Structure 1
């Protein structure tokens, strides 16, 4: 009898988590991005809010991966490799000008190793993961899904770039964003999207879609008002 009551209580708690977890996470996500939006554009102290960017990125990832359902070996390997490929592609880009063009990172993204913020690897992981989930809403062939996912990443980057230059995320040597940046982004993103499609872990994260569109709205809005 006691075991039955305990089981029912656990089921009730799980139901409440499933019912309220997503709205609560989405509310936190929206509030933090709204505060960042106001801080960068209207607070009069944008430098203070620039320094909060690493915390915002870490919070977004914590919320996102709290909804991940399959922490198996395949997912852990996927996370490590995507982080590493994203990070080292930026290291190559910064030091050689290959892949993306001639650019340097500022201070807004926190601790740098080899002149690249460590959190850039986490940003690559987050973007590959959420755009991969969005592409899976289609019934396309897995290669077509990878193309869609890479395209969604480039679309977001298109709106990130002007904001990044304005608020010391990174800067381009000629002050203009080269076409090579978007071509390089697409190529690296496409390779990682292919990996996402074939990796053997559960791909049903309820927050992934919202993370992408909150970020897209955030950067589009800033671009329009800068």
Structure 2
């Protein structure tokens, strides 16, 4: 019994000692994975192979991101389910009717589809709402202004994603022209979800969240500039 008692503080001390390395390690993994993806798409000569790795990259990013979420509760689970569902269903509506975003269709690069929309799109909406919501919370603003900031950050990222998406078979637009309605629709849906983020009662201090958004932004800006 005394031996067990002595071991517990030792294990706890070891965990605390290495805990400070978790964030730098996670950021390093994000940078390495996106850096390899960037090299593969631009310089490997086999961009199709690296396109196929996009779902794995997105899944890894989300696993890392949400491993840093603290104090999981039903409010957070409900938030995650609702944002995933609203994001995914808004894309289903967009693909089948042209409403919200315009006339577009998804390619094969984002993996398994349901109703002609990749399931990972819902996860992507969740990741973006969550990360931009965290960034906006660093600002000392009214919660409505924070929601507006988060939505604008999402539109900013989408601006760089759109031409890249066409190039690498994520999705394509009718007539190969990105309509203004896409950005208006993105902003509208993003703003509603950002309002939910601001009012939902869960712990909102994920240290990795700003880095996830920043790495994504740099990644797509680099691809955008090379088109």
Q: Using structure 1 for the length normalisation, give the TM-score.
A: 0.97
1:71-82 matched pairs, under 5 angstroms: 71-82=72-83
Q: Secondary structure at 2:172's aligned position in 1?
A: strand
Q: Secondary structure at 2:21's aligned position in 1?
A: helix
Q: Residue in 2 aligned with 1:196?
A: 197
Q: Give the superposed CA RMSD.
A: 1.1
**CA-CA distance at 1:139 after TM superposition:** 1.0
Report the CA distance shift for 1:199/1:59 in structure 2 as closer, same or farther (over 3 A): same
**CA-CA distance at 1:2 after TM superposition:** 4.2
Q: Residue in 2 aligned with 1:28?
A: 29
Q: Distance in 2 between matches of 1:16 and 1:109?
A: 39
Q: Distance in 1 between matches of 2:28 and 2:122?
A: 26
Q: Residue in 1 aligned with 2:145?
A: 144
Q: Residue in 2 aligned with 1:125?
A: 126
1:33-112 matched pairs, under 5 angstroms: 33-112=34-113
Q: Where does the alignment leave 5 or more consecutive residues of structure 1 unmatched?
A: none
Deviation digits for residues 22-65 of structure 1, max 9, x if unmatched?
A: 11111110000001000101111111000000000000000000
Deviation digits for residues 66-111 of structure 1, max 9, x if unmatched?
A: 0000211000000000000000000000000000000000000000
Deviation digits for residues 149-179 of structure 1, max 9, x if unmatched?
A: 0000000000000100000000000211110
Q: Distance in 1 between matches of 2:25 and 2:220?
A: 22
Q: How many residues align?
A: 226
Q: Residue in 2 aligned with 1:165?
A: 166
Q: Distance in 1 between matches of 2:146 and 2:7?
A: 43
Q: Residue in 2 aligned with 1:216?
A: 217
Q: Distance in 2 between matches of 1:121 and 1:17?
A: 33
Q: Residue in 2 aligned with 1:155?
A: 156
Q: Distance in 2 between matches of 1:10 and 1:194?
A: 41
Q: Secondary structure at 1:171's aligned position in 2?
A: strand
Q: Secondary structure at 1:174's aligned position in 2?
A: helix
1:184 lines up with 2:201 in the alignment: no
Q: Secondary structure at 2:102's aligned position in 1?
A: coil
Q: Distance in 2 between matches of 1:75 and 1:130?
A: 14
Q: Secondary structure at 2:105's aligned position in 1?
A: strand
Q: Distance in 1 between matches of 2:14 and 2:100?
A: 49
Q: Where does the alignment leave 5 or more consecutive residues of structure 2 unmatched?
A: none
